[in-house]
Amino acid sequence: MRRRLLLLAPLLTLAVGCGALQNSEGDAAGAAREAARKAGERLYGQRPRTAEEVGRSASLLDGVEVMRVTGTETHAGDGVHVVVRTSGSAYDPWFDVDEVVVRRCFEVRVSPASEWREEPRDVDCPDGSPLRFAPPPPPPPPPELPPSGAVEAKLAGAARDGRVDEDEVRRAVAALDLDPAVRTEVEAEGDRVGVVLSLPGNGFDPQDCLLGSVGPGAAEAWVPPRIQRMPGEGGCGTGNALHPQPAPH
């Protein structure tokens, strides 16, 4: 009986070792899946994006290789599907000689219809190397206001013969060929016309704006002081163009 137990001992050890190896591989595969799920979280969002943008964003995530991208854009059809390759590791000091590392592929869907922390789907890894993406094109230059001197010169043409015509002022502003992002306001009061050229603000920093005032035979354009351009100060309104606030001391 004892001899039988001695013969069975190596077989039991081998069986236990195989089970531990399988468990370690399962834990490593679970870690790879979790990495893919986190990649899906990072890619999740409602902003429309092209397949190129989604693939590029995924390729910049640590530990993620992009193997395939299908679809055209996130808001078309079923969205954009990205096959990512991730790795996971596990180590059981009782049974593993070395750390067990696995690489797995998962498909992540990026669409406004996808759910937060949506479970990635197991897929076979495509043949070939991970995809490479060109850097994104540089952002367009930010819109700018024209120089105050150029605005003043245009407005001066609308202040002739001792009178001011509001329609003439509007034509002078239109002739400035402004960036579409520039908002224009023109308001008449008595024999004077106030002009405001402004860019959208963020509600925290000083707003970019330029004021103009056209009176009989005279025109002026200027940028209000920083304190007047802060949110809530009213420095970028037609009221400040028609009745300039005193400069801060």
Cα dihedral sign for 58, 60, 64, 68? positive
Q: Is the pLDDT of residue 13 over 50?
A: no
Banded pLDDT at 19 (limits 50, 70, 90): very low
pLDDT given for residue 22 in this prediction: 58
pLDDT given for residue 10 in this prediction: 45
Buried b / exposed e across 195-228, counting CB within 10 Å, b at 16+?
Answer: bbbbbeeeeeebbbbbbbbbbeeebbbebbeeeb
Banded pLDDT at 249 (limits 50, 70, 90): low
Q: Is the pLDDT of residue 17 over 70?
A: no
* Averaged pLDDT for residues 43-54: 94
| Least confident range of 92-96, 155-159, 238-242 | 92-96
More confident position, 159 or 58: 58
* Chain center to CA of 190: 47
Distance CA 55, CA 131 (A): 9
Distance CA 230, CA 215 (A): 27
pLDDT given for residue 206 in this prediction: 94
